[in-house]
């Protein structure tokens, strides 16, 4: 039997990082951690280090305390982990655009990127594609909707065409959204929402940033852009539908009218396992099982775009292209940081993003410096937004 495949887990201390550790623990003959990183949660990283003993351990922001001798620090540790010789798969589970550099380095070095960090693709999709072409790496989505699309597309991915995983014969993608905690709230109530309300996701347990994104539907905008960049399907053929139970993770309508959906309980275990094993399915009794009767009924409803304008702003940025998706993402990240810090109300997120897009959305974003400049300018605008 071949030795276990080496994994670099970027964002080991987060929600996806914890899921990945649970999944890999069930498959020691198949996978092992070669590298692990965190931002500043030293205690959680030390626990992961003690458990897995990876060759590379990186803490981006160590503060003032000295680090164990084996550990690296600073932002460079993400690239060091992602490009280590013994790493075949980079599970990028950091949060935010900061993940782009590692994604680019990994695909340039010929690695598979199991991508949870959708922000890096939204910011630099064209750059990732170029780096894949020159370096020979690949990207496999971890996001549950995109994992679902990939599974629905079984056997049809590859060949020529736009996108990182080009597909043919697709009439429409139908991406599902839980609707978030404010699905049934009116405008006045959303306006008065507290941070605790924002973070109370009805179906998924996730990190704080993506939880805010789920409440505003910014997450769904990022996912529509992600779907377009991954599979090359035009924006006008990507629809979003609200599905409060989060059981149907997405659907593909083919040219003959057949619609194929992927179902499962709301857990990231299967998407992580599938991205690590792709294109194989790995036997795993630990993934939570689906019970159709217990999950009934499954319902679908339209998005209330008037109450959740961030979704439309993000999709429009995707259609505009150039630096606009990077501006959308950076403005959203900055706005979410302010909401989490208590210096901005949740209901002002769309206004802040709209301002950044109106000022910066037309920039070309032709290379990394241009994208980084647009990203930085958007963050400054949102920081000063009143
Ligand atoms: P968490 O906030 O739970 O974890 C984020 C991880 O990234 C932590 O390990 C954190 O380290 C690290 N990190 C944070 N900031 C930086 C930084 N500046 N540099 C390096 N590392 C950093 O997030 P999630 O696990 O929820 O999400 C991770 C990614 O996966 C996001 O892009 C999200 O959109 C995506 N995703 C998440 C899903 C989920 O179910 N959670 C579902 C689908 C996608 P530390 O702990 O030290 O702060
Ligand atoms: Mg998702």
- What pLDDT digit, counting tens, does each position of 148-175 carry? 999 999 889 988 889 999 999 999 999 9
* Ligand 1 mutation target, pool 35, 36, 60, 93, most atoms within 8 A of CB: 93
Tokens of 41: 């949660």
Residue 192 lies in domain: 182-216+307-386
Proportion of the chain above pLDDT 70, given as a percent: 100
How many Å from the N-terminal Cα to the C-terminal Cα in the chain? 60
Residue 290, pLDDT above cutoff 90 = yes
**116 and 196 co-located in one domain:** no
In a domain, 135, yes or no: yes
129 and 66 belong to one structural domain: yes
* CA of 202 relative to ligand 2 center, distance in Å: 14
Ligand 1: residue of 72, 210, 214, 220 to mutate (most ligand atoms within 8 A of CB) is 210
Question: Residue 321's domain is classified under what CATH number?
Answer: 1.10.1740.10
Could you list which residues have their CB under 5 Å from ion ligand 2?
A: 143-145
Dihedral sign, Cα of residue 368, residue 142, residue 339, residue 41: negative
In this structure, the answer to whether residues 68 and 188 fall within a common structural domain is no
Residue 151 lies in a domain: no
User: If you take atom 22 of ligand 1, which residue's CA is the nearest one?
Assistant: 39
Q: How far is the CA of 67 from the centre of ligand 2 (A)?
A: 35
The bound ligand whose nearest atom lies closest to the alpha carbon of 98 is 1
Give the model's pLDDT for residue 204.
86
Q: Are residues 90 and 189 in the same domain?
A: no
Is residue 115 within 8 Å of residue 103, measured between CB atoms? yes
The answer on 384 and 318 residing in a single domain is yes
pLDDT given for residue 344 in this prediction: 96
Helix (H) or strand (E) holding 251: strand 248-254
What are the C-alpha distances in Å from 88 to residues 8, 37, 83, 117, 352? 8, 16, 9, 18, 40
How confident is the model at residue 161, as a pLDDT? 84
Alpha-helical regions (H) of the chain? 15-25, 42-52, 76-82, 100-108, 118-135, 144-152, 187-191, 195-198, 208-216, 218-231, 269-277, 292-295, 309-320, 324-341, 349-360, 368-383
Q: Does residue 275 have a pLDDT over 90?
A: yes
The domain total for the chain is 2
pLDDT for 93 equals 98
Ligand 1 and 254: CB distance under 6 A: no
Asked if residue 210 has its Cβ within 6 Å of ligand 1, the reply is: yes
104/208 same-domain check: no
Q: Does any ligand 1 atom lie closer than 6 A to the CB of residue 329?
A: no
Dihedral sign of CA atoms 339, 78, 225, 325 in order: positive
Of 100, 116, 145, the residue that ends a domain is 145
Calculate the average pLDDT of the chain. 97
Q: Are 195 and 73 found together in one domain?
A: no
Residue 269 falls inside a structural domain: no
Provide mean pLDDT across the span 285-293.
95
Q: 141 in ligand 1 pocket by Cβ < 6 Å?
A: no
Burial class (CB in 10 A: 0-12, 13-18, 19+), 20: buried
Q: Give the mean pLDDT of 243-253.
A: 98
């Amino acid at each position: 039997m071949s030795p276990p495949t080496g994994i670099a887990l970027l964002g080991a201390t987060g929600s996806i990082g914890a899921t990945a550790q649970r999944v890999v623990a069930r498959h020691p003959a198949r996978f092992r951690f070669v590298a692990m990183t965190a931002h500043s949660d030293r205690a959680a990283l030390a626990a992961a280090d003690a458990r897995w003993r990876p060759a590379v351990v990186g803490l981006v922001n160590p503060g003032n305390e000295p680090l164990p001798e084996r550990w690296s620090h600073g932002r460079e540790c993400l690239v060091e982990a992602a490009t280590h010789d013994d790493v075949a798969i980079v599970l990028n589970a950091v949060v935010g655009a900061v993940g782009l550099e590692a994604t680019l380095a990994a695909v340039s070095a010929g690695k598979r990127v199991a991508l949870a960090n959708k922000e890096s693709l939204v910011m630099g999709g064209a750059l990732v594609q170029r780096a894949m072409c020159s370096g020979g790496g690949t990207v496999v989505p971890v996001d549950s909707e995109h994992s679902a699309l990939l599974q629905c597309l079984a056997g049809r991915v590859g060949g020529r065409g736009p996108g990182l995983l080009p597909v043919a014969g697709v009439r429409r993608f139908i991406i599902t959204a839980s609707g978030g905690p404010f699905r049934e709230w009116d405008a006045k109530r959303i306006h008065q929402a507290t941070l605790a309300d924002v973070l109370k996701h009805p179906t998924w347990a996730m990190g704080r940033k993506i939880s805010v994104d789920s409440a505003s539907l910014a997450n769904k905008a990022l996912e529509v852009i992600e779907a377009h960049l991954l599979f090359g399907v035009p924006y006008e053929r990507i629809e979003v539908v609200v599905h409060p139970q989060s059981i149907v993770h997405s659907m593909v309508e083919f040219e003959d009218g057949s619609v194929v959906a992927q179902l499962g309980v709301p857990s990231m275990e299967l998407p992580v396992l599938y991205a690590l094993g792709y294109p194989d399915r790995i036997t795993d009794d630990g993934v939570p099982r689906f019970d159709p009767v217990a999950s009934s009924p499954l319902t679908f409803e339209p998005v209330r775009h008037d109450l959740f304008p961030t979704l439309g702003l993000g999709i429009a940025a995707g259609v505009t292209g150039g630096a606009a998706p990077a501006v959308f993402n950076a403005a959203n990240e900055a706005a979410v940081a302010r909401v989490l810090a208590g210096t901005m109300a949740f209901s002002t997120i769309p206004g802040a993003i709209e301002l950044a897009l109106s000022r910066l959305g037309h920039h070309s974003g032709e290379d990394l410096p241009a994208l980084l400049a647009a990203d930085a300018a958007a963050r400054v605008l949102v920081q000063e937004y009143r």
